[in-house]
């Protein structure tokens, strides 16, 4: 496996440390007035999702994990906890457990393309676009005459996720949702 210096860390790099696979969430190079420089990081365990703080002395080498990313199409949900994806070039199918998908499962609809991250033939993550367009499956009608600026109401998407939307959004409307925050962006 390739070794990289902690001075070259970037957000999103996956490291193979002694305690498992970690992805760099945040890093900061620190040069105090006394003593040696160091790198303060926040890293996320790719298997458990736990985020920890870790400090490295400047210049030391860490092992970078080789992560293979493949575009795959979501086919269908198999039971309650399994999602079936198909490789768009080889047509091979693979099952991904709900725990690996994390929050991405709230935005997956059939035929959607996602990027599957694999390390040593083990699925370590699923990446979806920053925003997706989904239909509203259920919401209460807006009250006529209610013109409060910025008023919101809950709406259930076709995937089952509940988001806060403006009062004018109705059942059947298509809305754009930010997948990083779960917030309504606009009506499409």
Query: Can you give the pLDDT of all 188 residues of the chain as single tens digits?
Result: 689 888 888 888 899 988 889 989 899 999 988 888 999 999 988 877 788 999 999 889 999 988 888 899 999 988 878 889 998 888 889 888 887 887 888 888 889 999 988 888 888 888 888 899 999 999 888 766 666 667 888 999 998 889 999 888 888 899 999 988 888 999 88
pLDDT at position 1: 62
Query: What confidence tens digit (pLDDT) does each residue in 4-17 have?
Result: 888 888 888 899 98
pLDDT at position 143: 67
pLDDT at position 61: 93
What domains does the chain contain, in order, with CATH numbers?
3-63 (2.30.30.30), 68-127 (2.40.50.140), 131-187 (2.40.50.140)
pLDDT at position 88: 86
pLDDT at position 54: 92
pLDDT at position 147: 63
Instruction: Spell out the residues 6+ positions from residue 54 whose beta carbon is closer than 8 angstroms to its own.
Output: 41, 42, 43
Give the SS3 label for residue 188: coil
Distance from CA of residue 101 to its chain's centroid? 8
Task: Give the separation between CA 42 and CA 28, rounded to whole angstroms.
Answer: 9
The 10 Å Cβ neighbour count of residue 60 is 12
pLDDT at position 146: 60
The strands making up 38-45's β-sheet, listed across from edge to edge, are 14-17, 20-30, 38-45, 51-57
Instruction: Spell out the residues 6+ positions from residue 13 whose beta carbon is closer than 8 angstroms to its own.
Output: 4, 23, 24, 64
Instruction: Spell out the residues 6+ positions from residue 165 whose beta carbon is closer than 8 angstroms to its own.
Output: 136, 139, 152, 153, 154, 155, 175, 184
């Amino acid at each position: 496996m390739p070794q990289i210096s902690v001075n070259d860390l970037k957000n999103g790099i996956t490291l193979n440390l002694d305690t498992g696979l970690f992805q760099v969430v945040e890093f900061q190079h620190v040069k105090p007035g006394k003593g040696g420089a160091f790198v303060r990081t926040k890293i996320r365990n790719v298997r458990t999702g736990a985020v920890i703080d870790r400090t490295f002395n400047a210049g030391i080498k860490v092992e970078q994990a080789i992560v293979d990313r493949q575009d795959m199409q979501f086919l269908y949900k198999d039971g309650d906890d399994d999602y079936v994806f198909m490789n768009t070039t080889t047509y091979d199918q693979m099952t991904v457990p709900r725990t690996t998908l994390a929050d991405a499962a709230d935005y997956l609809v059939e035929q959607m393309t996602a990027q599957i991250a694999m390390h040593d033939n083990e699925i370590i993550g699923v990446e979806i676009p920053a925003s997706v367009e989904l239909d509203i499956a259920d919401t209460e009608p807006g009250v006529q005459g209610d013109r409060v600026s910025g008023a919101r109401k809950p709406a259930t998407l076709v995937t089952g996720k509940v988001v806060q939307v403006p009062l004018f959004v109705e059942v059947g409307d298509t809305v754009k949702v930010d997948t990083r925050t779960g917030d309504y962006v606009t009506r499409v």
